[in-house]
Amino acid sequence: RQDEIAQANQKDAVIREYIKEMKGMLLDKTVAKDAKQPGSEANGVARALTLTALTQLKGEGPARRTLVFQFLRESNFPILAGSEKVQGANLAGYDLSGADLSRANLYEAYLSGADLSGANLGRANLSEANLGRADLSGADLGKANLYEVNLYEANLSGADLSGADLDGADLSGANLGRANLRGADLSGCLLYTSDAADDTPC
């Protein structure tokens, strides 16, 4: 029990230190302006702090990870998204299960093999992101921007994709069992079928 308490305190310290460092950047207007420019040195530091915090919280429940994304969302920090200057954040294999990523900007993010089961990705920007072989079972992707996203062999069983933009998405080999696709834009997407020799348009 003492070990559990010690570990919990350690994880809480990770969150406190992360928010302290990021808050310091935000309060300095000059640094904050630079930090919000993808590809800048300050933005790179902020991204490194964020990814380090998420790595240290690996194996935790979603509550503490959600605090990281909530901070980014409320402070309008474009940390994880890509741009013309920098690729999206590398979150391959990360455990983000159950996390609240609603409205998160994950443009061009590399999430291959990530565990996003039960995560809230409603209205999130995942356009051109790599979610190949990711676990999105039971995830909320309602009205998410999934334009040209790579969902190759992703597990979308039971996921809510209602109203999502899947234009140009690669769904080849994806598990869509019990997925809700009502109102989703599937124009131009690729969907592999067992009786087809190649990927075929949706």
One-letter identity of residue 89:
A
φ/ψ bin of 154: left (φ > 0), alpha (ψ from -120 to 50), beta (otherwise)? beta
Q: What is the pTM of this model?
A: 0.87
Residue bearing the bigger pLDDT, 179 or 58:
179
Q: For the residues 32-52, what does the mean pLDDT come to? A: 91
Query: What is the Cα–Cα distance from 187 to 202, expressed in whole angstroms?
Result: 7
Tokens of 49: 């702090």
Backbone angles phi, psi at 3, to 5 degrees: -65, -40
| 3-class state of residue 170 by DSSP | strand
Reply yes or no on whether the pLDDT at 119 is more than 80.
yes
